[in-house]
Amino acid sequence: MGCGRLGSTLAQKLDARGHSVAIIDQNADAFRRLGAEFDGTTVTGIGFDRDVLREAGIERADAFAAVSSGDNSNIISARLARENYGVARVVARIYDAKRAQVYERLGIPTVATIRWAADRMVRHLVPEGTVEVFRDPTSAVSIVEAPLHRDWVGRTIKSLEEVTGARVAYLMRFGIGSLATPSTVLQDGDQVFVVVTDDIVEDVLAAAASTGVGGL
C-alpha cells in the first residue's frame, strides 16, 4: 500500500524477482513511477478499505507492506492485513518512533523512517555512541555497532567474541555487509555489529573499545 518513492521501488524490486505484486494508491497518477516494465497489478483506492484490499488480492497474499505517507493509514492497513486476513508477513513504515515501538510489541515489524535516518547519521557523526540498528519485537535483544580499538586490526572475529562475550552478527567492509566467520581477520575500517542484551551492552562496547589483551 502506497506508490510513493519507497512503495514503487519496493514493488519494482519484488516484481523483478518474479513475485506476483499488487500495489494500492489513492492517486492513479502515482503508478507512473512503476515504469513500463512493471508486470504487477495496480489498484486505485484507500489502502485500508476492505473492498480495495480484496481487489488487490489480500486474501491470497503471502506478505503486505504498508508504506504510504501516513502513519495512521499504515497502522490500520497493517493491522487489517495481519488480524483480519491472516497475512503471515506484514511490515509498516512509521514516522513516529514511539508508535513504531508499540506496534513492534504487537508483532507488526515497523521501519521508523526518521529514527532510522537519524541513527544512521549519528553512527557516522559520533561513532563512539551506542546506536541500535535492530531490536527484536520483545525488546530483549538488539544489534549495535561496536566501535573497535585500532589494536583489533589483524586479529580474528573469534578473539573479539571471546573478549567481548558477544556474538558478531555481521560486519561492513568497504560499504558491503558480510557474515563473518570465527577465522575472519579484522581490517582497518571494518564496522562490526554485535548481538547484545541491555544488561551486557555497556560491557561489550567497553571491551571492543579496549585493546582486548586480557582475552588473548
**CA pair distance 169, 193, nearest whole angstrom:** 6
The pLDDT, as a whole number, for residue 114 is 62
Give the residue with greater pLDDT, 87 vs 106: 87
**What grid cell was written down for 146?**
561496536
Q: Where are the alpha helices (DSSP H) in 46-125?
A: 50-55, 71-79, 97-105, 113-125
Q: pLDDT tens digits for 66-98?
A: 999 888 999 999 999 999 999 988 888 888 777
Q: pLDDT tens digits for 178-205?
A: 999 999 999 988 989 999 998 999 999 9
**What grid cell was written down for 99?**
508508535
Q: pLDDT tens digits for 13-60?
A: 999 989 999 999 999 999 999 999 999 999 999 999 999 999 999 999
Where is average pLDDT lowest: 33-47, 102-116, 165-179? 102-116
Residue 185: strand pairing partners: 156
Q: What burial class does residue 14 get, using C-beta atoms within 10 Å of its C-beta: 0-12 exposed, 13-18 middle, 19+ buried?
A: middle
Q: Which domains does the chain have, with CATH numbers?
A: 5-117 (3.40.50.720), 128-215 (3.30.70.1450)
Whether the predicted pLDDT of 214 surpasses 70: no
At residue 121 the predicted structure's pLDDT band, cuts being 50, 70 and 90, is: low
Give the residue with greater pLDDT, 125 vs 56: 56
Identify whether the C-beta of residue 167 lies closer than 8 Å to the C-beta of residue 161.
yes
Pairing mode of beta strands 176-178, 167-173: antiparallel
Where is average pLDDT lowest: 39-43, 118-122, 173-177? 118-122
* Coil/strand/helix, residue 103: helix
The pLDDT, as a whole number, for residue 21 is 96
Identify whether the C-beta of residue 61 lies closer than 8 Å to the C-beta of residue 80.
no
The pLDDT, as a whole number, for residue 136 is 79
Residue 65: strand pairing partners: 91
The pLDDT, as a whole number, for residue 98 is 73
The pLDDT, as a whole number, for residue 131 is 66
Q: pLDDT tens digits for 137-160?
A: 777 899 998 989 989 999 999 999
